[in-house]
Amino acid sequence: MTHLGRYAEIHRGRGSVLPRLQDFVRTHGEPTAEQIKALARENALPESQVRAVLSYYADLHGRAASLRVCRGTSCELAGAAGLHDGLSADLDCRAVYCLGYCDRSPVALRGEDEVLVHCRAEDLRAAPNPAPRLPAIRCLAREPILTRRLLLGGCATLESARGAGVYSALANALRARPADIITALERAGERGRGGAAYSTAAKWRACAEAPGAKRYVIANGDEGDPGSFIDRVLMEGDPHAIIEGMILCGYAVGAREGILFIRSEYPAAVATMESAIADAREAGLLGPSILGGEFGFDVSVVTGMGSYVCGEETALLNAIEGFRGEVRLRPPYPAVEGLHGMPTVVNNVETLANVPAILALGADAYARLGTASSSGTKALCLNHGFARPGIVEVEFGITLREVIEEAGGGSSGEQLAAVLVGGPMGSVVLPDQWDVPICYGAMAERDIQLGHGGLVALPEGTDFRALLLHWATFMRDESCGKCVPCRLGSKRAHEMLAAEPGRALRSDLERLLDVIAEGSLCAFGQLVPKPMRQLIDHFGDRIFERVR
Ligand SMILES: Cc1cc2nc3c(=O)[nH]c(=O)nc-3n(C[C@H](O)[C@H](O)[C@H](O)COP(=O)(O)O)c2cc1C
Ligand code: SF4
Ligand code: FES
């Protein structure tokens, strides 16, 4: 029996305890030992199962704080540690990793939807003044694929979205054979934008061809990488493009149900997507008979609970099924054995939003954008450390230097020592490497991870020791705990760095990071040590200067 079969066996007929725990914590705060026993009895589950889920998710620890202070990398570089420490003294607040406003760090979220950008402690005592949702948007590509409607200021309502072309690809596509859509994506050369850059057509075909009584489409809106915010902006500014992409995927693979998984740090994205889904349903664009035809498909939203690893596709499946968000062994891949053991496409939000645009433009025209190994365009996110922060859509093939110096205008302050590309699983890239073309092939040759396309500026004056400790803290906090090298290794690396300044011995730490990277089960443990290692390689003298 597969691990999934065992989960299903244990839980058959019992339902998930997770929604009840979410409700409970929201109203009463963290349950006591007696209350955990009662919850286990009511749900016919072993007490250990309830405790396992409770202890995993950050959002289930304690009562929901009225203030969430971002401690993601971009905000950390903008002084979030001091802000958080100062506020914790007299306010009910907790730390989160990235609120999706890295272009305006440091950031805090008050209540459900008031975002405070360039945040100072005194702002928290002032009257509400929520920040504009959309960052600056630019397009350097010959053809805007992803940013067409964002450049208009966003099209969250169905009327405005339809006026700007959304759902125009759908009617044509529903007249074609499902396999034709997959062939078009293959010709277009579309690759997933969530980080691994896997062929979208190959994934859809594997799902369509796998045996299963049911199939699912999951849009991954977890966007955990501090430094990336395009998925938030798409969900808030162009929600119908994501819905249309999900419907097209459902039709192509034979799924009737779609789930959009959105991180809880994005409450406005949750609200916008829920309202867009309701509008689409009312207009007959979702439901049992899409556009009056035979194909039926519907979408629901599931919110995350404060776990970075839940963005990994198999951990995400566990979270939706109500378990700890631990990574599953692969194979089987989700396309073959995914949600509830059924064939499931898991695609990033940006990948899905591209699909209608590709079909509308035509696969061959799309393939002419970009390079041979990476066709089309990519949204890059520039944090507050650039002179022109925000989102820039570029054609693959542009160099990193052009993005940093021309699109981003270089540093907003001191000269840049390096740029972090691709978040905590990405790469620290020095100026002498900036001529690399942004393209999966060329970047892989130089061992640079593009990830989801977040760029965080690292100016000369960066406290690299503090940055290293920040990543060690992030890794310790976010490890899903399934495998020993990552779970214990991240804890040990944190202890070494948090000890007396300079006492962590460089070679011990280097060896430990190498062991974690080599021995870990998933890309989290394999890749997070890499930028840490690069920081030590490039700036070790400044980090360990006090070691004798
Ligand atoms: C630790 C970890 C976190 C991840 N977080 C995300 C995420 O937040 N969003 C996302 O789309 N993909 C994330 N991924 C990649 C997903 O596992 C998966 O490859 C992706 O959703 C597939 O979509 P795509 O083919 O459209 O890229 C993560 C992977 C790992 C290992
Ligand atoms: S590497 Fe880390 S995140 Fe990945 S499975 Fe192991 S413990 Fe979990
Ligand atoms: S908003 Fe703080 S790191 Fe993204």
Tens of pLDDT, residues 90-137 = 888 899 999 999 999 999 999 888 999 999 888 877 777 888 999 999
Q: Are residues 73 and 199 in the same domain?
A: no
Q: For residue range 517-526, what is the model confidence (pLDDT) as tens digits?
A: 999 999 999 9
Work out whether the CA dihedral 23, 24, 25, 27 comes out positive or negative: positive
Q: Residue 194 C-alpha to ligand 1 middle, in angstroms?
A: 5
* Nearest Cα residue to 136 out of 393, 479, 494, 389: 389
239 lines ligand 1 (CB under 6 A): no
Q: Ligand 3: residues within 6 Å at CB?
A: 70, 72-75, 98-102, 105, 107, 226
Per-residue pLDDT at 125: 75
CA distances to 68, 303, 356, 359, 469 from 236, rounded to whole Å, are 20, 15, 18, 23, 33
80 shares its domain with 194: no
Nearest CA to ligand 2 atom 4: 522
Residue 510 counted as domain residue: yes
Q: Can you tell me which residue has the tokens 């914790």? A: 88
Domain check: are 438 and 474 in the same one?
no
Cα dist from 35 to 17, 25, 30, 38, 408, whole Å: 13, 11, 9, 5, 52
Q: Which of 404, 454, 445 is nearest to 194 (CA)?
A: 454
The neighbouring-strand residues paired with 429 are 419
Bridge-based pairing state of the strands 454-459 and 416-421: antiparallel
Q: How many domains does the chain have?
A: 5
Q: Is residue 290 part of a domain?
A: yes
Check whether residue 165 and residue 266 sit in a common domain.
yes
450 and 432 within one domain: yes
Cα–Cα separations (whole angstroms), residue 330 to 223, 275, 276: 21, 35, 34
Last residue of a domain, one of 60, 77, 92: 60
For ligand 3, the distance from its centroid to the CA atom of residue 72, given in whole angstroms, is 5
3-state secondary structure of 261: strand
Q: What is the CATH number of the domain that holds 344?
A: 3.40.50.11540
**Are 385 and 103 a contacting pair, CB within 8 Å?**
no
Report CA 326 to chain centroid distance, whole Å. Answer: 16
- Report the C-alpha gap between 499 and 501 in whole angstroms: 6
What is the atom index within ligand 1 of the atom nearest the CA of 315? 17
Is 5 within the bounds of a domain? no
Of 340, 367, 394, the last residue of a domain is 367
Residue 289 forms part of a structural domain? yes
Three-state SS annotation for 407-425: HCCCECCCCEEEEEECHHH
- 429 within some domain: yes
Q: Which of these, 206, 319, 300, 290, lies nearest to 257 by C-alpha position?
A: 300
Are 112 and 148 found together in one domain? no
Atom of ligand 2 at shortest range from CA of 522: 4
Please tell me if the CB atom of residue 346 comes closer than 6 angstroms to any atom of ligand 1: yes
Report the CATH number that the domain containing residue 119 is assigned in CATH: 3.40.30.10
How far does the centroid of ligand 3 lie from the alpha carbon of residue 141, in Å? 26
What pLDDT is stored for residue 504 in this prediction?
Answer: 64
The amino acid occupying position 34 is E
Domain end residue (candidates: 316, 345, 367): 367
pLDDT tens-place string over residues 30-74? 999 999 999 999 888 899 989 999 999 999 986 667 899 999 999
Q: In what order do the strands lie in the sheet with 67-70?
A: 93-96, 67-70, 108-110, 114-116
Answer yes or no: do 309 and 201 share one domain: yes
Question: Within this chain, do residues 318 and 180 fall inside the same structural domain, yes or no?
Answer: yes
My answer on whether 185 and 312 are in the same domain is yes
Whose tokens are 């950031």? That residue is 107
The atom number, within ligand 2, closest to the CA of 481 reads 7
Q: Select from 209, 208, 186, 210 the least CA-distant residue to 198.
A: 186
Q: Which atom of ligand 2 is nearest to the CA of 478?
A: 3
**76-88 pLDDT per residue, tens:** 999 999 999 888 8
Largest pairwise CA distance in the chain: 75
Instruction: Tell me the per-residue pLDDT of 387-435, one tens digit each, with 9 for 90 and over.
Output: 999 999 999 999 999 999 999 999 999 999 999 999 999 999 999 999 9
Sign, Cα dihedral of 455, 460, 466, 472: positive
Task: Name the residue with tokens 């200067």.
Answer: 545
Confidence of residue 501 (pLDDT cuts 50, 70, 90): low
27 inside domain: yes
Residues 229 and 348 in one domain: yes
> With pLDDT > 90 as the criterion, what percentage of the chain qualifies?
84
* Co-location of 87 and 158 in the same domain: no
DSSP string computed for 150-175: GGGT---SHHHHHHTTTTHHHHHHHH
Q: How confident is the model at residue 2 (pLDDT cuts 50, 70, 90)?
A: very low
The three-point CA angle 187-423-229 to 5° equals 70
In contact, 444 and 184? CB cutoff 8 Å: no
Partners of residue 455 on adjacent β-strands? 382, 421
190 within some domain: yes
* The pLDDT of residue 9: 46
Residue burial 520-529, b: 16+ Cβ < 10 Å; e: rest: bbbebbbbbb
Residue 347 pLDDT greater than 90, yes or no: yes
Q: Whose alpha carbon is nearest atom 1 of ligand 2? A: 525
Please return the burial class of 415, using the count of CB atoms within 10 Å of its CB with bins 0-12, 13-18 and 19+.
exposed
Domain that holds residue 492: 464-543
Residue 9 counted as domain residue: no
Residues 400 and 514 in one domain: no
pTM for the model stands at 0.96
Give tens-digit pLDDT for 290-305: 999 999 999 999 999 9
Residue 381 sits in a domain of what CATH number?
3.10.20.600
H or E, element range at 69: strand 67-70
> How many Cα atoms sit within 13 Å of 499 on the Cβ side?
14
The partner residues of 396 in beta bridges, in order of sequence, read 398
Instruction: Give the DSSP per-residue string, 348-383.
Output: EHHHHHHHHHHHHH-HHHHHTSB-SSSBSEEEEEE-
C-alpha span between 147 and 238 (Å, rounded): 9
